[in-house]
A and B are shown apart, each in its own frame.
Chain A
Amino acid sequence: MKFKAFVYVSLKSGYSDPEGDATAEALRGLGYGVEKVRASKAYQVTFEAKDRAAADELIEEMCKRLLTNPTKDDYRYELSEA
């Protein structure tokens, strides 16, 4: 079966986020009343797995081995059949 996962990776709370800070500053400069921006990344991963449980296991592993560094990143994903 083919699955598609949207993976969202963001810095754990408490870690400084210069990209988010710079973005917030630029948005404020454009006149928007922005309080805070936290930058994050998104990946769209299409892959094969025998069933939903296996797909869950695989995408978890991909997140931990490459898409995130567990020391500093949080992640969540939405999994669906492609």
Chain B
Amino acid sequence: MRREDIKVLLMRAPGTNCDTETVRAFRDQGVQAHLVHTQRVFRERNLEDYDVLVFPGGFSYGDYVRSGAIWAKECEYRIGRELEAFVDEGKPVIGICNGFQQLVEMGFLPGWEGRSIYPEAALGNSTRGYQNRWIRIKYVGGGNCGIMAGLEPGYILRCPVAHGEGRFIFPPEQREKLLERLYNKDMLVWRYVKADGSFAELDWPENPNGAYHDIAGICNPEGTVMGLMPHPERAYYGYLMPEWTRERQPPQYGDGYPFFKSIVDYVEKKIQA
């Protein structure tokens, strides 16, 4: 299959945002990116037509109950089987911000033993309320998360966060054990860091929401489902980066470019193999 035949499905729902930016980033990578309303996907139940599934950022259904909860449950009872089949086939699923919250609420992340009935983690209230700022995250994956394997080890991505509920937490009584499990299975993909590249160690604003162990993004044990709170699509082009006004000629691409390139390169290689 050629790169231009790869089909990416971005589902949108009432309250999602950044979906257009995400579509644009994928299209720039030379693939087909389809932005489809969630109700249409529920009707057509045609996930098998796609190679990558993305849940974008936003505030789906007004964040009623909890961020991502309503859309997650709606997906569960409308296309739960199709979603599970998609994941079981090893096709990549990516959740950005609200999409990450949704994957946790649906039980796909962390997904220790496959999809769980109840959430096994939470993206709780940020310790300082709503946070909308540029942050740095470091790629700390060791290769299990194939869609990110195209990144240089230790790659630092600067991009915005914009959320009120994004503080990654495990149940307090199990958190050390579960963190060890994340490391053992190479499921820890992104951590918040300071300007010098050292981990934020919960310092604000580098860790913007008080996330446990500075966790910004994780994947499932198989490495095919990944969620992260920050927004790489908002840093895809050079003119989106915060320093662009200080440069005579901003670079064509920003820090988010390698993120999307890595996903598409992975799918292209996988399909060819």
Contact surface of A with B, Cβ cutoff 8 Å = 11-12, 14-19, 22, 64-67, 69-72
Given that A12-B172, A22-B129, A71-B171 are known contacts, is A66 also in contact with B122, CB under 8 Å in the complex? no
Chain B nearest CB: distance from A10 CB in Å? Answer: 12
Complex-state Cα separation, A32 to B9, whole angstroms: 52
Known: A14-B172, A66-B65, A71-B169; 17 extra A-B contacts, CB below 8 A, are A15-B124, A15-B125, A15-B169, A18-B126, A18-B164, A19-B125, A65-B117, A69-B69, A69-B105, A69-B118, A69-B122, A70-B118, A70-B119, A71-B119, A71-B124, A71-B171, A72-B169
Q: How far is the CB of B130 from chain A (nearest CB, A)?
A: 8
B residues whose Cβ falls under 8 Å from a Cβ of A: 65-66, 69, 73, 105, 117-122, 124-129, 164, 167, 169-172, 210
Q: What 8 pairs across the A-B complex have the smallest Cβ distances?
A: A71-B122, A18-B129, A72-B122, A16-B127, A69-B122, A72-B124, A69-B119, A71-B171
Contact between chains at B119 and A17 (CB < 8 Å): no
Query: Are A71 and B121 touching (Cβ within 8 A)?
Result: yes
Main SS class of interface, B: loop
| Closest A residue by C-beta to B67 | A69
Instruction: Give the Cβ gap from B181 to chain A, nearest Cβ, in Å.
Output: 15
Complex Cα–Cα for A72 and B172 (A): 9
Chain A, Cβ-Cβ closest to B73: A66
Q: Tell me the minimal C-beta distance from B87 to chain A in angstroms.
A: 19
Q: Which residue of A lies closest to B117 (CB)?
A: A65
Q: Which residues of A contact B210 (CB under 8 A)?
A: 16
Closest B residue to A68 by beta carbon equals: B66
Residue ID in chain B nearest A67 by CB atoms: B65
Name which residue of chain A comes closest to B210, CB basis: A16
CA gap between A15 and B128 in the complex, in Å: 12
CA distance A71 to B116 in the complex (A): 13
What chain B residues lie within 8 Å of A70 (beta carbons)? 118-119, 171
Complex alpha-carbon distance, A15 and B73, angstroms? 24
Asked whether A71 lies within 8 Å of B170 as measured between CB atoms, the reply is yes
Contacts A69-B105, A71-B169; A17 near B69 (Cβ below 8 A): no
B121 to chain A, nearest CB (A): 6
How close is B104's CB to chain A, nearest CB, in angstroms?
8
Q: Using CB atoms, name the residue of chain A closest to B76.
A: A65
Closest approach, in angstroms, between the C-beta of A45 and any C-beta of chain B? 12
